[in-house]
Chain A
Amino acid sequence: MGARERDEGGAGADAMTHDEQFTEFMAGCSRQLYRTAYLLTTSPHAAEDLVQTALVKSYVAWRRVRRADDPVAYANGVLIKSFLSDRRRRSSTELPLADLPERPPSSTEDPADPTDRVALMTALARLAPLDRAVVVLRFWEDRSVAQTAADLHLSQAAVKNRSLRALRTLRGLLADPTTIPNGSPS
Chain B
Amino acid sequence: MSTDPGADLRNLLHDSLDDLQPPTDLHRGVIARGRVARRRRRALTIGGGVAALAVGAALVVPLAAGGGGDVDTAVAGDPSLSTPSQSPSQSPTPGAETPSPAGPSDGTEGEAYSPPPGWWDAPSDELLADLEDLLPADVTVRKADTKSEGYDGKPIDGVGFVRATLDSPFGPGGFEILLYPPEGDEVPGAPYRSRLSCPGNQARYDACTVLRDENGERIGRVSTTTPGDITIHEVALLGPDGGLVYGATANSTDEKWGGTSAPSGTLPPLRAPELRDLVEDETWTSYQP
Residues of A within 8 A of B (CB): 8-9, 19, 22-23, 26-27, 30-31, 33-35, 38-39, 44-45, 48, 51-52, 55-61, 64, 74, 77-78, 81-82, 84-89, 91-103, 109-113, 116-117, 120, 122, 125-126, 128-130, 135, 138-140, 142, 152-154, 158, 162-164, 167, 170-171, 174, 177, 180, 182-184
Contacts and interface: CB of A to CB of B under 8 A. Distances in A.
B64 to A, nearest CB: 29
B248 A174 contact: no
A140 B180 CA distance: 31
A154 to B, nearest CB: 7
A85 B153 contact: no
Contacts of A60: 34, 37-38, 41, 108, 111
A135 B22 contact: no
A167 B11 CA distance: 13
Nearest to A86: B101
Per DSSP, are chain A's interface residues mostly helix, strand or loop, or mixed?
helix
Nearest to A111: B19
Contact of B255 (A57, A84, A103, A183): A183
A31 B90 CA distance: 39
Contacts of B101: 85-86
A92 B161 contact: yes
Nearest to A15: B35
Contacts of A59: 30-31, 33-35, 37-38
A130 B148 CA distance: 11
Interface in B191-226: 201-205, 225
In terms of DSSP, what is the predominant structure of the interface of chain B? loop
A34 B15 contact: no
A9 B9 contact: no
Contacts of B253: 182
19 contacts: A31-B21, A52-B29, A59-B30, A81-B99, A92-B161, A100-B258, A100-B259, A102-B228, A109-B21, A116-B12, A117-B16, A120-B13, A126-B256, A128-B149, A139-B9, A140-B10, A174-B12, A177-B260, A182-B254
Given A30-B26, A33-B22, A92-B163, 13 more contacts: A26-B27, A35-B20, A38-B17, A44-B23, A45-B203, A81-B99, A81-B106, A98-B202, A98-B205, A112-B17, A116-B12, A138-B6, A139-B6
